[in-house]
Structures are given as structure tokens and as C-alpha cells.
Amino acid sequence: MKYEENFKESLENPEAFWGRAAEGIDWDKKWDCVLDQSNSPFFKWFPGAMLNTCFNAVDRHVLQGRGDQVALIYDSAVTNTVQKYTYAQLQERVARIAGFLKGLGVEKGDTVLIYMPMIPEAVMSMLACARLGAVHSVVFGGFAPRELSVRIDDAKPKVILSASCGIEVQRVIPYKPLLDEAIELAGPKPEKCVILQRPQVNAEMKQGRDLDWNEQEASAQPADCVSVKATDPLYILYTSGTTALPKGVVRDNGGHAVALLWSMKHIYNINPGEVYWAASDVGWVVGHSYIVYGPLLRGATTIVFEGKPVGTPDPGAFWRVISEHGVKALFTAPTAIRAIKREDPNGEHLKKYDISKFETLFLAGERLDPDTYFWATDLLKVPVIDHWWQTETAWAICGNFRGLEQFPIKAGSATMPMPGYNLKVLDGISAQELGPNEAGLLAVKLPLPPGNLPTLWNNDKRFVESYMAPFPGYYVTGDGGHIDEEGYVFVMGRIDDVINVAGHRLSTGGMEEVLSKHPSVAECAVIGAADNLKGQLPVGFVVLKSGVNRQKDEIVSELVQMVRQDIGAVASFKKAVVVNRLPKTRSGKVLRGTMRKIADGENYTVPPTIDDPTALGEIESALMQIGYAQKVAD
């Protein structure tokens, strides 16, 4: 079936569509029904069914005779290490790690917190928890103690798995002092911490609580897979908040496995044995879905990359990995491609490598601006596909298809809604559904397809308040945009990235699109700053490409003129500043909300997810030069 037939059936007869997709999973017991809609908005996929996600991701491939196929490639650009694990080797290590967890009293339904860098054991830890039916909660390695303690308080892990350190380019970050402080701050304490000692740092162990990973694994008895309900939780993943407590997004076992397996074939066109690389971190949802579970459920080869797109050692890092390992598809964030573009605008580093096996570049995590799309397309000579999804959804809400029906690409669009997502554009006041090309709030008509969050961890009330209550019958994505007359979806950014200039609602994403067209601009951000006369005024921040030596004032003048020409005088775009870097989270999202608080002179807290805190100081200085930012951080 082509897209139109798939999409129509997924909305009109989701039981048939997803029931057929579920045939690709090995079940211990079949479901009572495909979808239970009796308690909206708490929908249940495949209730009554039993399975084990680790078995489906690892063991069944060994049983099918593919134990010698490479399952996982660990490529560390910061330690110059490459290790490969076959499915049989992965099965053996995961079973032993599950064995020592079992020996420490971890059972089905218990929580285990994982605080690790991008090393094979991080993936193996997740699979080991799934093997036992335990619920894992991965926290990005190197997270600050206070934020880590908040997650310990909420998840109440029986055991914490960690490593002695992480490595950020040339900087080694000891994890153990951060973990010790977090445990000290937390209310509930873990019974045990198991620490993997890396050669770069030897962590100091606390007697009676801390255990050596290698000793535990060496003496463990391999553990078998434990069958769990399809509706039982597989993991908790906390969305980061700068003020409120982070939300613990819950993922179930059954619907998650079905949706990710379907996506690997139909979105990414990955077959068993092929090499797929998601250049993310296991601490983020992309890492959960497409470093660990998706590729392994499909029987593909996945890559764990410890490094950066630039600086480890140069802007050719991604092209080297693609070339050396025969990567068919890469999934990364637009910010990674912009970083490469900034350092190597002419793509000289690509010329060193043979990427003839490379077929598709997938981008997500933030809006893909047209300039970056065209640059990557011209350089790589492969389809560059933007797709849009969220921590809450686990897989794409919108995208293009490499294994179903590929649509012509429209720069700036995430293409079509995925099967199962009845996407609508709503008026933010009346909640009426809007027509083609009318901008509004993007929302999904219930029920959500499998793989999406069924609730928040121990907080059904907040789940309803956050996502369902604002517009009953819809899941509110928090993003704004429009759908054109051909059904293409344009996501213009978070709802609060729409600014009100003298009564005119304008998208900062649209202005960023204009700024990014300037030949000297590598990346940019636009925020709305408070103004006594017009309510808000846009302020632009631009990072220049490497090697640009022109006067900054000239460039700013040209940028102002470009916005005036493309959007109009109504935008009142008159101020822009050149900065060395934009403040971002470790996952690459620009901290526009924090920048807006600085501009408005509000007190702000440095977000725990920030990649480089000094970037905010530069933003503050730049804003003060143009008459904004009168207060400093808490």
C-alpha cells in the first residue's frame, strides 16, 4: 500500500493497521484487543499481550541464525577506539549485566537509573533492564547534581548504573563526584551503585554502596528474559524544565516495539544487516528510539558514537564514520550540520571519504531551515529529510518516507503526517480546526498511535493538564505551524516562538529562515523582546561562517533589509547582533526562552541542560549593547 491508503486505514481502522504491523514482533501471548479506548485519554495498545522487548531486540536474531551479524559498533573519536559486537556477543553481555542486576535484587517493575557516557555499556544497561522487566531511566551523562537528584527523587531507583567519567572533546568529566552529590541531595537513596571504571578516571568508591562493574559482570549468572505486559512501562525519560519539575514521560513495551519496528522499515528503509546511525546520545529520546531499540528490533547494525560533529578531530568526523562503517542512513540534528557548515562551508573534508553507501540524511530535534537543507543536499547529493517529533511521541509525527512512498521535498516542511497521527491546526482561542495555510497550534486528534506516552510517571493528573486538558479530544504538541493545500506540514517552532508585534502575530521561525539565507550566516536565532509601544519586537542573533571578515555592521544592515523585503515592514525587524555562538542544550536546541528572559531584564536560571554556560554571558553583553538585558542570572 502507498501512503494515502496506509494513512487512511490507520485513522479509520487503527486496529487492523496496527494489528498487522504487530505481526513483526514476537509475542509470548497475543492481545485481547489492539486498542482499548474505554478510558480516554488513557488509551492502551495491545492490552492482554505479553512480550519482552530485549528478546525482540537481541535474542530472537540469534535464534534466527544471525548471531554472527554485527549488532553494535562503538566508535569513539575521543579515545580513538572502535569496537564491534555481534548479536551473540551482545546477548551474552546483556544477559550477564541483567544477571548482576538480578543478584542485586532488581525485579520486574523496579526502577534503575542509568547515568553514563556514550559507551556500549550504556546501551547494554538499557537492554538488561528491559530483559528483567525493570524500568530504566537514563539521565544524560554529566547532568548537574541538582537535576540528577530531582530525577532520583521521582524515579526512586533501586540501583544506579554509572561510569567513572565522560569525555567532551578534550575535556574529561568525572561523573562520580556529581553522582555522590546528587545522592546526597536526594531523598530516597539507591541500595547500590555499580560503577564502570574507565581508564581516564578512577572513581573513588563508597564502602557498602558502590560496586565495581567489571567484578559484578564477571561473577554474574546470565539472566533470562522476563515476560511483561504490553502495557507495562519499559522506561521513564524526563523532559527537562528550567523551573518546574521535569515530566517523566512513560513508554510502554508493546506499542513502543510495534511503532519503532514499523518506522525502521517505512520511514528509514532499513533492513536487517544494514548500518544505521543516529548521532545522538542515549540520554535523549532519539538515543532511546534510534540508537537502541529501533535498529535492534529491526535486526540492523547500530552505531554508538562518542564524539562531536566538529573538533573530534575536525568537521569531517561524520563523513569518516559513514565511510568506515558503510552507513546507509544518518539521523542527526540540524545544529550538527550547521556546525559542520560553519567550519567547512565548502565541504573540503568530505572529499577525503567514500560515502557511496550513504543514501539518506534524516534531521530532527529542531526546525530545519531551508539554507541548511540546501547546503546539505548540494554537498551530499542524497535526499535530506526533515521530520518532526517529540520526547513524548518516541517517533515521528511528520516526515517523508524512504520505505513507503517518498514525496517531493519542500524546503522548510516536515512533509506529511505519519500513519496514526490525525494532525490538525487549531485556533488557539476558539479551538476550531483551521484550513490550508492558516497558522495555528498543531495538535493530534485522539487517540495517539502506539509508541506515544500513555501517561507521566506516577502523575496522571499532570499528564492530562499538560497535554489533554487545553483542547479536549486533542494532544497539544506545543508547536505552531500550518498545513498547506497539498497536505505538507510546516512546523514553525514552539507556540511561545510566535511573537505579537503591534497586534500582528509573526513567527520568529519565519524570520530565522530569512536570516539563514545570508551567505555569511552559519546559524541564527530570533526572539521577541518586550517593547512598551508595540508589545514585542524581534531581535536577531547570528553566528558567522568561518573565514568571514566583513564588517559586522554591514552584515547586520543587510539582514535587516532582507527581513524587511521578505516579510515586510510589519515585522519591525531593526536589531540584530553577531555572536560567536548561540546558547544551546546538549542536544542542540537553542535556548530561546532563556535568551528572551535576558532581553526582557527578567531574572533567569542557567538551565541544567546547557552545553556551554558562558554563551549566555555573551548573549547578555550583546543585548546590553543594543539597550536590553538589565538583570543578571540568579
Task: Give 570-596 pLDDT, tens digit per residue.
Answer: 788 999 999 999 998 877 788 888 898
Q: How far apart are CA 451 and CA 70, in angstroms?
A: 26
Kindly report, residue by residue over 368-384, the tens digit of the pLDDT.
Answer: 888 899 999 999 999 99
pLDDT at site 447: 98
pLDDT of residue 499: 75
Name the 3-class secondary structure at 159: strand
Q: What pLDDT, on the 0 to 100 scale, is given for residue 367?
A: 78
Looking at residue 467, what is its pLDDT? 94
What is the rounded average pLDDT for all residues in the chain?
93
pLDDT confidence tier of residue 503, bands split at 50, 70 and 90:
low
Report whether 122 contacts 138 (CB < 8 A). Answer: yes
Q: Which helix (H) or strand (E) holds 181?
A: helix 176-185
- Which residues, in sequence order, are bridge partners of residue 250? 236
Phi, psi of 480 (to 5 degrees): -110, 160
Residue 236, pLDDT > 60, answer yes
Contact present, 455 and 250 (Cβ < 8 Å): yes
Q: What confidence score (pLDDT) does residue 634 get?
A: 38
Say how far apart CA 346 and CA 544 lie, in whole Å.
14
Residues of the chain with pLDDT > 70, as a percent, come to 97
pLDDT of residue 630: 57
538 by DSSP, 3-state: which?
strand
Cα 596 to the center of its chain, rounded Å: 23
Least confidently predicted of 266-275, 346-355, 465-474, 507-516: 507-516
Q: How many CB atoms lie within 10 A of CB 377?
A: 15
As given in the structure block, the three cell numbers for residue 602 are: 527578567
Q: Which residue has the higher pLDDT, 329 or 634?
A: 329
Residue 414: closest CA among 379, 380, 368, 480: 368
Judged against a pLDDT cut of 70, whether residue 553 lies above it is answered with yes
pLDDT at position 37 over 70? yes
What confidence tens digit (pLDDT) does each residue in 92-133 have? 999 999 999 999 999 999 999 999 999 999 999 999 999 999
Identify the residue with better confidence: 453 or 141.
Answer: 453
pLDDT of residue 242: 37
Predicted pLDDT of residue 585: 83
Q: Cα–Cα distances in Å, from 268 out to 5, 110, 331, 361, 391?
A: 19, 33, 9, 10, 19
Instruction: Give the lowest-confidence range in 103-107, 272-276, 529-533.
Output: 529-533
Please give the sequence-ordered ranges of beta strands (E in DSSP) within 2-95, or none if there are none.
35-36, 44-45, 50-51, 70-76, 81-86
Does the bond joining 41 to the residue before it have cis omega, within 30 degrees of 0? yes
pLDDT higher than threshold 80 for residue 506 = no
Q: How far apart are CA 53 and CA 229, in angstroms?
A: 10
Query: Could you report the per-residue pLDDT of 160-198, keeping only the tens digit for each?
Result: 999 999 998 888 999 999 999 999 999 999 999 999 999
What does the pLDDT read at residue 209?
98
Looking at 246-354, list the stretches that DSSP marks H as alpha helix, in order from N- to C-terminal side. Answer: 254-266, 285-287, 294-298, 317-325, 334-343
Range of lowest pLDDT (70-74, 229-233, 267-271, 528-532): 528-532
- Pick 528 or 85 by higher pLDDT: 85
Cα 571 to Cα 133, 534, 597, distances in angstroms: 54, 11, 20
Q: Is the pLDDT of residue 633 over 60?
A: no
Confidence bin at 508 (pLDDT 50/70/90): confident
Sheet holding 474-483, edge to edge: 422-426, 440-445, 474-483, 489-494
pLDDT at 505: 58
Residue 31 grid cell: 492481545
506 or 613: whose pLDDT is higher? 613
Q: How far apart are CA 416 and CA 434, in angstroms?
A: 17
> Cell numbers 559484578 label which residue?
216
Measured CA distances, 82 to 76, 120, 299, 464 (Å): 6, 11, 20, 45
Cell of 510: 519565519
Set out the domains of the chain in order of their start, with CATH numbers.
3-307+387-481 (3.40.50.12780), 502-625 (3.30.300.30)
Give the global pTM: 0.86
Distance, CA of 358 to CA of 322 (rounded, Å) = 7
Determine the Cα–Cα distance for residues 467 and 489; give it in Å rounded to an integer.
20
Element (H, E) at 398: strand 398-399
Tens-digit pLDDT profile for residues 394-444? 999 999 999 999 999 999 999 999 999 999 999 988 889 999 999 899 999
